């Protein structure tokens, strides 16, 4: 049994310690926000926050997450009541196909949580590991700036 703390709730799961966190989230906790993209830690679609840091959940064994706080996009808000950053993504229509967006939001949230007023260069550098095939980077960038402008950490 492995106990995962996700979005503030403990879950005891009967899974192997080598199961990537992404599979545990999607297949065992029905948290389908994080996506399977490349499975190799190259694209960022699976990004979640572990202990404040954005990480690729597809290459993170569940056994290494036991006892550490995991936050997924579901922890930021819901469709009915989106969080500040989620609302900014909606307002800026930052999603095209949407596959990368949950990962983008979580990486951006980690920056907002830790840096009070990031520069444009800091935002770009921080977001670089996450790829978007549709090319909505400018809208994603605008959404992050809009969320920062509200002054609410989310």
Q: Which residues bind another protein (CB under 8 A)?
A: 16-20, 23, 39-42, 50-51, 53-56, 58-64, 121, 125, 129
Least distance (Å) from another protein to the CB of residue 10?
A: 19
Least distance (Å) from another protein to the CB of residue 133?
A: 16
Kindly tell me which of 20 and 95 has the beta carbon lying closer to another protein.
20
Kindly tell me which of 72 and 87 has the beta carbon lying closer to another protein.
72
Kindly tell me which of 20 and 33 has the beta carbon lying closer to another protein.
20
**Rama region for 151: left / alpha / beta (φ>0; ψ in -120 to 50; rest):** left
Least distance (Å) from another protein to the CB of residue 15?
A: 10
Kindly tell me which of 70 and 95 has the beta carbon lying closer to another protein.
70
Least distance (Å) from another protein to the CB of residue 93?
A: 28
DSSP code string of the chain: -EEEEETTEEEEE---TTSBHHHIIIIIS---SS--SSSSSSS-TTEEEETTEEEEGGGSBGGGTTTSEEE-GGGT--SSS--HHHHHHHHTT--SS-TTHHHHHHHHHHHHHH-SS--HHHHHHHHTTS--SS--HHHHHHHHHHHHHHT---
């Amino acid at each position: 049994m492995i106990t995962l703390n996700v979005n503030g709730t403990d879950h005891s799961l009967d899974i192997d310690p080598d199961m990537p966190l992404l599979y545990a989230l999607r297949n065992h906790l029905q948290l389908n926000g994080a996506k399977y993209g490349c499975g190799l830690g190259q694209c960022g679609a699976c990004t979640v926050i572990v202990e404040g840091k954005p990480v690729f959940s597809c290459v993170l064994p569940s056994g290494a997450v036991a006892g550490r706080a995991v936050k997924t996009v579901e922890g930021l808000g819901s469709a009915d009541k989106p969080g500040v950053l989620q609302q900014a993504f909606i307002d800026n229509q930052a999603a095209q196909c949407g596959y990368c967006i949950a990962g983008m939001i979580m990486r951006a949230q980690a920056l907002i949580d830790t840096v009070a007023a990031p520069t444009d260069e800091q935002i770009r550098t921080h977001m670089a590991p996450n790829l978007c095939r549709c090319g909505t980077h400018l809208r994603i960038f605008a959404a992050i700036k809009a969320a920062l402008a509200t002054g609410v950490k989310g």
